[in-house]
Structure formats: structure tokens, C-alpha cells
């Protein structure tokens, strides 16, 4: 999975970045990495750790999907600003990446992380693509009434 050699320098270079979340295309959490040495980041409505709030990533993925259906062209990044955090969403085909940053974090610098993250996450992206392709092509899924969406 994603390793510290990728994330630690990113956190060091971007002081306002609090967490990096990796999800599958449906927004299901694959990996969560937060700034080293910080207490658990809370951003959920319940006040619990953001990593334990599955609605954050699934709702963000659904919102971006709706934008695509409205005719927006392929989006390289989506930025949402909330009351306490800003969320920067990158889609890398089979893996989605959400950056959780403080409101005063430099958004332009965070947006430039896309190529660095995409390159560093290639093994994860390839693995998730392979797993997803295997599930989609598995003939046993037809017995379960699965129609591939």
C-alpha cells in the first residue's frame, strides 16, 4: 500500500495539509494517512476521527459523479471549502485521493501535488485496477444477479 516515503515529504512540504485519504471509485476508504505527530483529525459531523466517517468520501465521490453527468469535462481536481477544512479531490481512474487541509493552507500548492501523488501511487492504482477488473469479469458474479452496473 502507500508508504511513508511518499507521504512524509508531502506533509513536510505542506504545513497546512492534515490528511490524505485514498478511496476506491465508490468512495470506500482504502488508506488514510494523517500528518505525523498530530492528534486524530476530526472533521466528521459526529466529531469523531475523519477516517471513521465513511460519509465524507462517499458523498464527495457522488457529488463529483453528478458534476460529470451534468456535462462537465474530465476534471483533474475538485476543490470544496467547508467551515473548518478544504478538501481537494483528485481522481486517478481506479483510486480517488482526497487531501484534507486547513483553511489557510495554500490551495495552489496543494493542487500541484497531483502529478507527484499519481506517480507515487501507481502501484496502488494498478493493484486496485487489477482487483476491480477481476471482480467485474468474474463469471460467478452473474449467478448473484450482478450485471456490472
| Comparison of pLDDT for 138 and 94, the residue scoring more | 94
User: Nearest Cα to 20, choosing from 131, 129, 105, 128?
Assistant: 105
Distance between CA atoms of 18 and 113, rounded to whole angstroms? 14
Over residues 43-101, the pLDDT tens digits come to 554 455 554 566 777 787 788 778 878 877 777 888 888 888 899 999 888 888 999 99
Q: Any idea where the domains of the chain sit in the sequence?
A: 4-144
Question: Is pLDDT above 90 for 10?
Answer: yes
**Which residue shows C-alpha cell 483533474?**
76
Say what the pLDDT of residue 64 is: 79
- CATH superfamily of this structure's domain 4-144: Dynein light chain 2a, cytoplasmic (3.30.450.30)
Amino acid at each position: 500500500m502507500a508508504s511513508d516515503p511518499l507521504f512524509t515529504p508531502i506533509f513536510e512540504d505542506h504545513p497546512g495539509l492534515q490528511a490524505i485519504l485514498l478511496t476506491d471509485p465508490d468512495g470506500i476508504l482504502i488508506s488514510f494517512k494523517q500528518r505525523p505527530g498530530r492528534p486524530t483529525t476530526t472533521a466528521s459531523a459526529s466529531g469523531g476521527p475523519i477516517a471513521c466517517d465513511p460519509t465524507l468520501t462517499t458523498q464527495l465521490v457522488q457529488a463529483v459523479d453528478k458534476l460529470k453527468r451534468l456535462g462537465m469535462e474530465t476534471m483533474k481536481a475538485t476543490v470544496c471549502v467547508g467551515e473548518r477544512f478544504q478538501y481537494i479531490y483528485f481522481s486517478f481512474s481506479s483510486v480517488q485521493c482526497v487531501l484534507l487541509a486547513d483553511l489557510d493552507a495554500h490551495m495552489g500548492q496543494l493542487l500541484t501535488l497531483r502529478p507527484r501523488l499519481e506517480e507515487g501511487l501507481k502501484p496502488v492504482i494498478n493493484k486496485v485496477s487489477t482487483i476491480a477488473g477481476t471482480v467485474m469479469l468474474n463469471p460467478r458474479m452473474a449467478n448473484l444477479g450482478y450485471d456490472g452496473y
